[in-house]
Amino acid sequence: MDIVMQSRKKTVSPSHSWQVLERARDSIAGGDSSTMRVLPYHLPLVAEHGIGCRLWDVDGNEYIDLNMAYGPLLFGHCPPRIIESVTRQIGENGSQLGFPTEISMRVAEKIKACFPGMELMRFANSGTEAVASAIRLARAVTGRSKIIVFEGHYHGWSEGIFHRYHASLSDLPPAGFGAALPGTLGMNGGPRDVIVVGWNDLDLLDRCLNAHLDSIAAVVMEPIMCNSGCIPAHEQYLQGARALTQEHGAMLIFDEVITGVRVAAGGAQEYYQVAPDITVLSKALGGGYPVAAFGASRAIMRVIADGSVFHGGVYSGNAIVMSACEAVLDDVTANRSKIYDHLEAIGRQLANGLDEIMTRFHVPHVVHQVGSIVSLFLTTDEIEDLHCYRDVRRHCDFDKYIHFQHQMQRSGVYFHPNQFETMFLSTEHSADDIATVLDRVEDTVRCTLVK
Q: Is 283 a catalytic residue?
A: yes
Dist. CA 353–CA 348, nearest whole Å: 8
**Catalytic: which of 165, 283, 289, 331?**
283
The catalytically annotated residue of 63, 154, 272, 289 is 154
Residue 376 φ/ψ, nearest 5 degrees = -105, 120
**Catalytic residue list contains 381:** no
Residue 205 neighbours by CB under 8 Å, 6+ apart: 148, 197, 219, 240, 241, 244
Q: Which of 383, 362, 385 is nearest to 375 (CA)?
A: 385
Q: Which of 57, 65, 255, 391 is catalytic?
A: 255
**What positions carry a catalytic annotation?**
154, 255, 283
